[in-house]
Chain A
Amino acid sequence: MIPAAFDYVRASSLNEALDLLAKHGDDAKILAGGHSLIPAMKLRLSQPKVVIDISRIADLHSVNQQNGKIAIGALTTHYEIESSDLLKRACPLLPEVAGSIGDVQVRNKGTVGGSCVHADPAGDWPAAMLALDAEFEIAGPNGSRTVAANDFFVDILTSAVEPGEILKFIHVPATANTAAYVKFAQKASGFAIAGVAAVVDKTKKEVAVAVTGVAAKAYRASGTESSLRGVEPTADSIATAAEKAADGIDPLSDIHASADFRAHLARVQAKRALWAAVSRG
């Protein structure tokens, strides 16, 4: 379990990291928390020639609220989100999701940005970011661009971050406490076999429901959402809506769960997440 040899450079600023990426091209990999990259390097699934450590770029390590918007630096760790008083108040869905990831050691090292860029189909963050309509601010050689969550998670292990680019910030709106994340976890790792994030707006009678672990990429359960649009969220209306949580989806199948079981779990977890969210308000 020893990775292939590589050269290591620690970037002290975002610009330095971008320059290093431009210089080394496809040979280089960004290292944040390392909790997806290092296991892959130990299995030699990933063999970068140059590893660019961005973990000490202080600007990307922060949670700030301005007006109704919260900016989360890409390097903020799962634990920092789990324990952030600001987020517990202004967007409690995020600490809830963070606390469900892996174990305490993983949460101490792993970063929200690394997790989103990695776009593991069983990762927890994609569900939360989709349900919150997060926006991803990405830096590249020609400046910054912003990508909506719906366009950010492209495919299995593929996000919208292109080679040569670095995710800087994730922007989410301040959100009421009528939100919840429930997960049927793979017991050994904690990764989602089916994880559902639900955000309920009781005044507007609107819900956002996002599912991870079930398909090649996390998705918004649009059938479930439209079924509850303008409707009082009761046990009955939620149960009917949740039945649509895997409609039009091609579920994954592996040693942990068959495609049918995953679709079933998506429906059950959607119901539980919606009910938990509604009950909090």
Chain B
Amino acid sequence: MNISVKISVNGVLHEAEVEPRLLLAHFLRETCGLTGTHVGCETSVCGACTVLVDGQAVKSCTMFAVQADGTEVTTVEGLASNGEMHPVQEGFWECHGLQCGYCTPGMMMTAVQLLERNEAPSRDDIRHALDGNLCRCTGYTHIIDAVEYAAKKGRA
């Protein structure tokens, strides 16, 4: 039986009738047309699908859309405001924090969560916080630079 959900995504309310088995990742990509949230492993490991649900970083492939009913979801599309990049996005841009870009939306959402909980993380804190996000291109060093840049920028 379909269930009706109301989910605010990046400040826009989306109302839909969904199958309970619809994953939040697919709701975002297919129902809302927001394809910035990537699906990598589908097995809860890679973190490419990370979004914020009521401010908490979660893997949207490991959550049903019905569980997000009534919540506020933020995806990578919601980071920039008024055409200005979020400090985390600017960090990835300035520090070359990506190559193919597949892992990037998830990396950035997890980084946003980290900086909300810890505004001055050490490089080790950053590595630990990004535990659940895999990157097959960069070797991670530039990603850590990017988050460090964003932390400094955010405090400036």
Which residues does A use to contact B, with CB under 8 Å? 1-8, 10, 31, 34-35, 38-39, 41-42, 51, 53, 55, 79, 102-106, 108-109, 188-190
Partner-binding segment picked from B39-47, B77-85, B93-101: B39-47
- The contact of B44 among A4, A10, A35, by CB within 8 Å, is A35
B3 and A108 within 8 A (CB): no
User: Complex: how many Å from CA A34 to CA B66?
Assistant: 12
User: Complex: how many Å from CA A105 to CA B44?
Assistant: 9
CB-CB nearest 9 A-B residue pairs: A103-B132, A8-B20, A103-B131, A1-B42, A108-B56, A3-B21, A105-B132, A105-B59, A8-B66
CB distance from A37 to the nearest CB of B (A): 10
Q: A1-B43, A104-B110 are in contact. Are A53 and B132 (CB under 8 A)?
A: no
A42 and B45 within 8 A (CB): no
Known: A4-B21, A7-B20, A109-B56. 11 other contacts (CB 8 A): A8-B64, A42-B43, A103-B131, A103-B132, A103-B133, A104-B57, A108-B56, A109-B58, A109-B62, A109-B63, A188-B45
User: Complex: how many Å from CA A79 to CA B54?
Assistant: 14
User: Complex: how many Å from CA A154 to CA B44?
Assistant: 27
B67 and A104 within 8 A (CB): no
User: Complex: how many Å from CA A41 to CA B67?
Assistant: 15
User: Complex: how many Å from CA A244 to CA B47?
Assistant: 40
Residues of B within 8 A of A104 (CB): 57, 110, 113-114, 129, 131-132
Q: Does B156 sit at the interface, judged by CB under 8 A?
A: no
Per-residue CB contact flags for chain B residues 117-144 toward chain A (1 = under 8 Å, else 0) read 0000000000001011100000000000
Which residues does B use to contact A, with CB under 8 Å? 1, 3, 19-21, 23, 42-45, 47, 50, 56-59, 61-64, 66-67, 69, 110, 113-114, 129, 131-133
Q: Which residue of B lies closest to A102 (CB)?
A: B132
User: Complex: how many Å from CA A171 to CA B141?
Assistant: 43
Residues of B within 8 A of A79 (CB): 56
B21 and A5 within 8 A (CB): yes
CB distance from A40 to the nearest CB of B (A): 11
User: Complex: how many Å from CA A96 to CA B66?
Assistant: 32
CB distance from A56 to the nearest CB of B (A): 9
A108 and B58 within 8 A (CB): yes
CB distance from B146 to the nearest CB of A (A): 17
CB distance from B101 to the nearest CB of A (A): 20
Residues of B within 8 A of A8 (CB): 3, 20, 64, 66
Q: A102-B132, A103-B132 are in contact. Are A38 and B20 (CB under 8 A)?
A: no
Residues of A within 8 A of B67 (CB): 31, 34, 53, 55
B62 and A35 within 8 A (CB): yes
Residues of A within 8 A of B57 (CB): 104-105, 108
Residues of A within 8 A of B131 (CB): 102-104, 190
User: Complex: how many Å from CA A42 to CA B69?
Assistant: 20
List 11 A-B residue pairs with CB atoms under 8 Å apart, sorted by A's residue number.
A5-B21, A7-B20, A35-B62, A38-B44, A39-B44, A53-B67, A105-B47, A105-B59, A105-B132, A109-B56, A109-B62
User: Complex: how many Å from CA A8 to CA B67?
Assistant: 9
B21 and A6 within 8 A (CB): yes
Residues of A within 8 A of B63 (CB): 34, 38, 109
Residues of B within 8 A of A102 (CB): 131-132
CB distance from B32 to the nearest CB of A (A): 18
- The contact of B62 among A10, A38, A55, A188, by CB within 8 Å, is A38
User: Complex: how many Å from CA A3 to CA B114?
Assistant: 31
Residues of A within 8 A of B66 (CB): 8, 10, 53
Residues of B within 8 A of A3 (CB): 21
CB distance from A238 to the nearest CB of B (A): 28
Q: A34-B67, A39-B62, A189-B45 are in contact. Are A105 and B110 (CB under 8 A)?
A: yes
